[in-house]
């Protein structure tokens, strides 16, 4: 595959020093093999584990054209990390994914093909349709994810089978417009983006993906994030 567009990958990181070299290596591999132009934008939020130092080392290895560092001083939340990253993206398309290897770069050529086939504004990964799936989560975490998706389906009717996942490809100008119309800051951000995309009439395609739980490091989804998520969903229910 030799895509004619440039793709910007946004990688938000908080304490991902073990995962970052692996995901960056795989991203470089898949983009290079496909002869696809790309940049990887790392948005680190002052990780105490030294993720930024690892990112700087990767920039030395792969070059400043490919690895772009846009760090912030402290942890400001996942949603604002995406907003910050998209401001610096120079690609025609923006890929959003987790940096912990739960979203595997091997799916990127499929995202690109799907977008080109349907000329979609957004292609969103789904764990809950077709061959999609979740591997490695315990019962509690599966319940949280399924429950969250169910609540969103009932209250907000997002029109996609997996609204809480965050492995997505956006047309860059579409993402800029969506980001400007979103108010959420944390994990609810990706849900608001997909709801806004539907309200604004953008075309959304779904791609089944396998989500594999991280091996290194820990999830940042704690009680505080869940409470903020619930408040965010109720806010969206009341205002959209």
Ligand X SMILES: Nc1nc2c(ncn2[C@@H]2O[C@H](COP(=O)(O)OP(=O)(O)O[C@H]3O[C@H](CO)[C@@H](O)[C@H](O)[C@@H]3O)[C@@H](O)[C@H]2O)c(=O)[nH]1
Which residues in this chain contact ligand X in the complex, by CB under 6 A?
12-14, 16, 43-45, 75, 77-78, 81, 98-100, 102, 145, 164-166, 187, 190, 219-221
- Residue closer to ligand X by CB (options 186, 205) is 186
Q: Which residue, 119 or 131, has its beta carbon nearer to ligand X?
A: 131
**Minimum CB distance to ligand X, residue 115 (Å):** 20
Question: Least Å distance between CB 31 and ligand X?
Answer: 19
Q: What is the DSSP string of 150-202?
A: HHHHHHH--SSS-SS---EEEEHHHHHHHHHH----STTHHHHHHHHHHHTT-
Nearest distance from residue 14's CB to ligand X, in Å? 4
Strand ranges of the sheet holding 122-126, from the earlier edge strand across to the other edge: 67-69, 37-44, 6-13, 93-96, 168-171, 122-126, 204-208
Nearer to ligand X, 167 or 202 (CB): 167
Picking from 119, 131, 127, the residue whose alpha carbon sits closest to that of residue 169 is 119
Shortest distance (Å) from residue 93 CB to ligand X = 19
Quote the least distance from Cβ 119 to ligand X, whole Å.
Answer: 26
Beta bridge partners of 169: 95, 123
Give the residue carrying structure tokens 């923006």.
Answer: 94
CB of 200 to ligand X, least distance (A): 21
The burial class, CB within 10 Å (0-12 / 13-18 / 19+), for 69 is middle
Q: Please say which residue, 219 or 240, places its beta carbon nearer to ligand X.
A: 219
Choose between 198 and 220: whose C-beta lies nearer to ligand X: 220
Rounded to whole angstroms, what are the CA distances from 208 to 95, 182, 187, 211? 16, 25, 21, 10
**Looking at beta carbons only, is 116 or 235 nearer to ligand X?**
235
């Amino acid at each position: 595959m030799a895509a004619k567009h440039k793709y910007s990958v946004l990688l938000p990181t908080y304490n991902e020093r073990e995962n970052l070299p692996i995901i960056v290596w795989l991203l470089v591999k898949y983009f290079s093999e496909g002869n696809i132009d790309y940049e990887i934008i790392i948005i680190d939020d002052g990780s105490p584990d030294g993720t930024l130092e690892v990112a700087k080392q990767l920039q030395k290895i792969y070059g400043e054209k490919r690895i772009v560092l846009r760090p912030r001083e402290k942890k400001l939340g996942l949603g604002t990390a995406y907003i910050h990253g998209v401001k610096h993206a120079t690609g025609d398309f923006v890929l959003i994914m987790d940096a912990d290897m739960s979203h595997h770069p091997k799916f990127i050529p499929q995202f690109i093909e799907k977008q080109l086939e349907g000329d979609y504004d957004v292609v969103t990964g789904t764990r809950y349709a077709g061959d999609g799936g979740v591997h490695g989560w315990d019962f509690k975490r599966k319940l949280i994810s399924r429950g969250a998706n169910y609540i969103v389906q009932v209250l907000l009717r997002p029109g996609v089978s997996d609204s809480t996942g965050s492995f997505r490809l956006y047309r860059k100008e579409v993402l800029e417009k969506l980001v400007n119309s979103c108010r959420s800051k944390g994990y609810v951000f990706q849900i608001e983006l997909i709801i806004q995309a539907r309200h604004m009439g953008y075309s959304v395609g779904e791609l089944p993906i396998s989500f594999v739980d991280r091996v290194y490091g820990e999830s940042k989804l704690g009680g505080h994030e869940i409470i903020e998520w619930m408040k965010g969903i109720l806010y969206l229910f009341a205002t959209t």
